[in-house]
Structure 1
Amino acid sequence: MKELSIKPEIHTFDSCEEFINSFNLRKEDLIITSEHTYNSYFKNFNLKSNIIFLRKYGKGEPSDEMVESLYEDVKDIPYKRVIGIGGGSVLDVSKLFALKNISPVVDLFEHKLEFIKDKELILIPTTCGTGSEVTNISILELKAKHTKLGLAVDEIYADYAVMIPELLKELPFEFFATSSIDALIHAIESSVSPKATAYTEMFSYKAMEMILKGYQRVRDNGPEARIPILKDFLLASNYAGIAFGNAGCGAVHAMSYPLGANYHVPHGEANYQMFTGVFKTYEALKPEGNIKKLNAFLAQILGCSEEAVYSEIEELLNVLIPKKQLREYGIPKEELKDFTESVMTKQGRLMANNYTELTRETVYGIYEGLY
């Protein structure tokens, strides 16, 4: 049985300058990033690389339309390395551009194109959430198919994952909140996945501990208390990425996708809206499995009883993002049936990692309870 796989080499640098010198950035590189990140941290180095600003191609979650437009602009550039510097959107898109065959991107996501990696890939996160730098997953909103879908193939693993805490210094609190909540849920979901091993659990549990203790500091001392411990959050996100990259995420992520795709709710926030509903359901359906171990661990960190774990987490996360009812996003109740159908028919990759089986009726019941 395979216990753990970590594909990219992982490097850490205190500054962007150290990274630039160590990796010898050059004109054969294609750098995909945001204009803000480039201007704040890289512009002064007068790089000769090909610079692409992802937001030129659209706002919100990355989509097939954005990738197709970007592809048209870079397909004739003879680049040899792809360097993605950004949040989850930038990293997920960057992975695709290390492939020989990119377009039509819908065909790529439907496995109709051959997966050939012919460029070196370096991924550098600027948030503390996705863990995308160490996973083989790229997620796009496929507007042509009216859904959000994940592509998971080994050809989109990075060659190098690079951690630079300096890049998080200007991360606004709201993005810190949504991204780090995403990392927390990566860690929690992967810890109860049927694919979890002693090795993945080690990364899952360490990530949970670092994130929750960090949140307690923010709760007790205010938003600025995050600044001295941003490196901890960056590492925790990376640990969670290693955990879920091996063990997988489940129903929380699967059920959040319709909310993100149809109502453009930030990914971490959408996950938070689903989290306690899913885990309370798991607990009711299968109380004696790995969730019992998880609850005991969380209770110790939170200083509460095992029965109060999810209420306590919700209270802590509400310091970062207030919990909403699904109706507050403008979702008509009748659309919950469409959400359920989408999850059960299009998110099999994720639902296979559920702690215990969730039926169509159970999924609808969770949505209804959160409405």
Structure 2
Amino acid sequence: MIAHLALPRILRLGGGAVREIGDVVASLGLTRPLVVTDSFLVGTGAAERMIKDLTAAGVSPRLFADTVADPTTDSLAAGVLAIREHGSDSVIGFGGGSPMDTAKALGLLGRQGGQMRDYKAPRANSGPALPVIAVPTTAGSGSEATQFTVISDSSGGEKMLCVGPAFLPVAAVIDYELTVSMPPRLTSDTGVDALTHAIEAYVSTKANPFSDNLALVAIGTIGRVLRRAYADGDDLEAREQMMLAATTAGMAFSNSSVALVHGMSRPIGAHFGVAHGLSNAMLLPAVTAFSVRAAPARYGDCARALGVATGLDDNATAAGNLVSALTELCRDLRVPTPATYGIDSDRWHELIPVMAEQALASGSPANNPRVPADTEIRGLYEQIYS
């Protein structure tokens, strides 16, 4: 098997790395970046500091802070206009998964135009696109190292997966100090998101030796420190390790794929406004339990990496331990069910057929070790509700 791999050209890692953003941009020969962020980072002053650091490096930035959670096709229009008005030669995604997804989409639209629905999977997008520099402020999405973006279609609500090297950041600045202000709920949701990326990258039918190694390292790290980061946001060692694990997991699934959890997660976010990491967490134990019998050796390896099985355990036992451990982890992190989150039962069950259809159409379930039928996806949605 020949693996086709893609990684950011430049990585800056460590506490305080964000202050080097001007040097990173200048070293790439770029001069007019659009800084894509959100109102929260404007409110904290972090966006203003980045603008000052860029300006001090001789760069001419423009700030765009109108990103929205779970970006939509409508929300991109103002960003495309900002790129044209500024004459931007690059885009900086500064924030969590939503600002980075927005930045990636704007990088493509800023060069090629059109509508995001023109670029959704299964189309593979190789460019051209404006170069993107990613600066994550959460330890979860791994978007700083992936060739994916997810944009919701405002006209129909579908969460569209868009893939290809055109969306891969040319550089990533990974500063764990930016995550210290994350509250426990966000720490939990993004952390389980990163764990889901790593597990799905490893069990995916598109896995390869390169992604395997990254995935297992990320699983082991998250197993050791996620509860610590959740319990004590000032635990800097846990914050640093979670940030590294999220990026590592991002590299893993970007060079493998995600699978059934993600396929089922996107419709939950689209129809009920549930954050992506949280909808992954709602699904992860049940989908893993559904899938383990199709690849006990792969799931057994995940259990051993997570520290809930040893080499003395056979694969079936180890895989069973993984399901139990994920259930316990989500309980410890107080992950709600759709019911306890407040989603109306009638509306949930009314939309199950639509969500199952959208999950299958995304293509991600086809990468799962056990490829589900429509009726099985419906059953899983029924199962996780309460």
Q: Give the TM-score taking structure 2 as reference length.
A: 0.85
Contact 1:3 1:200 in 2 (8 A): no
Question: For the Cα contact (< 8 Å) 2:302–2:322, is it kept in 1?
Answer: no
Residue 125 of structure 1: aligned partner: 136
Give the conservation status (yes or no) of the 8 Å contact 1:101–1:114.
no
Secondary structure, aligned partner of 2:359: helix
After TM superposition, give the deviation of residue 198 of structure 1 in Å.
2.0
8 A Cα contact 1:136 1:154, kept in partner: yes
Give 3-state SS (helix, strand or coil) of 1:85's partner.
strand
Show CA shifts across 1:335-362 (max 9, x none).
Answer: 2222212222x212x1221112211121
Query: Cα–Cα, structure 1 residues 206 and 113, in superposed 2: closer, same or farther, change >3 Å?
Result: closer
Name 2:48's counterpart in structure 1: 43
Q: Which moved more, 1:262-271 or 1:317-326?
A: 317-326
Residue 118 of structure 2 aligns to a residue whose secondary structure is helix
Task: Report the CA distance between 1:73 and its aligned residue.
Answer: 3.5
Quick one: distance in 2 between partners of 1:136 and 1:330?
Answer: 35
1:312 aligns with 2:325: yes
The equivalent of 1:292 in structure 2 is 300
The 1:246–1:279 alpha-carbon spacing in structure 2 relative to 1, beyond 3 Å, is same
C-alpha contact (below 8 Å) 1:207/1:237 kept by paired residues: yes
The verdict on how the C-alpha distance between 1:212 and 1:75 changes in structure 2, with shifts beyond 3 A counting, is same
Distance in 1 (CA, whole Å) between partners of 2:186 and 2:45 is 17
Q: What is the Cα deviation at residue 237 of structure 1?
A: 0.4
Distance 1:336 1:347 in 2: 15
1:71 aligns with 2:73: no
Mapping of residues 134-283 of structure 1, within 5 Å: 134-218=145-229, 222-224=231-233, 226-283=235-292
Q: Could you say which residue in structure 1 is the equivalent of 2:65?
A: 53
2:226–2:242 contact (8 Å) kept in structure 1: no
Whether the 8 Å CA contact 2:309–2:321 is kept in 1: the answer is: no
Name the CA distance, whole Å, in 2 between partners of 1:289 and 1:229.
29
Residues matched between the structures, number = 363
- 1:321 corresponds to which residue? 334
Q: Aligned equivalents of 1:63 and 1:302: distance in 2?
A: 44
1:8 aligns with 2:8: yes
Deviation of the 1:224 alpha carbon: 3.3
Q: Distance in 1 between matches of 2:378 and 2:40?
A: 41
Match of 1:336 among 322, 336, 352: 352
Q: Which runs of 5+ in 1 are unaligned?
A: none
Looking at structure 2, the residues matched to 321 and 118 of structure 1 have their Cα atoms a distance apart, in angstroms, of: 40
Distance of 1:182 and 1:215 partners within structure 2:
11
Q: State how far apart, in whole Å, the 2-side matches of 1:114 and 1:199 are.
A: 22
Shift of 1:302: 9.9
CA contact (8 A) 2:259 2:367 kept: yes
Q: Summarize the Cα distance change of 1:289–1:316 in structure 2 as closer, same or farther, 3 Å threshold.
A: closer
2:380 corresponding residue in structure 1 = 366
Q: Distance in 1 between matches of 2:370 and 2:253?
A: 17
Cα distance change of structure 1 residues 137 and 70 upon mapping to structure 2, 3 Å threshold: same
Residue 19 of structure 1 aligns with which residue? 21
Q: Does 1:97 align with 2:106?
A: yes
Q: Which residue of 1 aligns with 2:370?
A: 356
Paired residues of 1:137 and 1:151 also in contact (CA < 8 A): yes
2:321 alignment partner AA: A
Asked if the contact 1:258–1:339 (Cα under 8 Å) also holds between the matched residues in 2, the reply is: yes
Question: What RMSD, in angstroms, separates the aligned Cα atoms of the two structures?
Answer: 2.7
Give the fraction of aligned pairs with identical amino acids, expressed as a percent. Answer: 22
Deviation at 1:21, TM superposition (A): 4.0
1:167 and 1:297, CA in 2 relative to 1: closer, same or farther beyond 3 A? closer
**Cα contact 1:63–1:142 (8 A) shared by 2:** yes
Give the TM-score taking structure 1 as reference length: 0.88
Whether the 8 Å contact between 2:303 and 2:309 is mirrored in structure 1 is: no
The CA deviation at 1:211 is: 0.8
Tell me if the contact between 2:150 and 2:161 (Cα under 8 Å) persists in the aligned partners: yes
Q: Structure 1 residues 223, 147: closer, same or farther in 2, change over 3 A?
A: same
Q: Aligned pair in 2 of structure 1 residues 302, 181: CA closer, same or farther (>3 Å)?
A: farther
Compare 29-38 and 13-22 and name the one that shifted more: 13-22
Question: Which consecutive unaligned segments of at least 5 residues does structure 2 have?
Answer: none
For residue 188 of structure 2, what is the amino acid of its counterpart? A
Please, which moves more after superposition, 309-318 or 195-204? 309-318
Measured against aligned partners, the alpha-carbon deviations of 1:39-97 in whole angstroms (never above 9, x if no partner) come to 53352463341111034xxx431000101232234323211121111111111111122
* Change in CA separation of 1:128 and 1:302 when aligned onto 2, cut-off 3 Å: farther
SS at match of 1:76: helix
2:71 is equivalent to residue 62 of structure 1: yes
Pair 1:4–1:176, CA change in 2 (3 A): farther
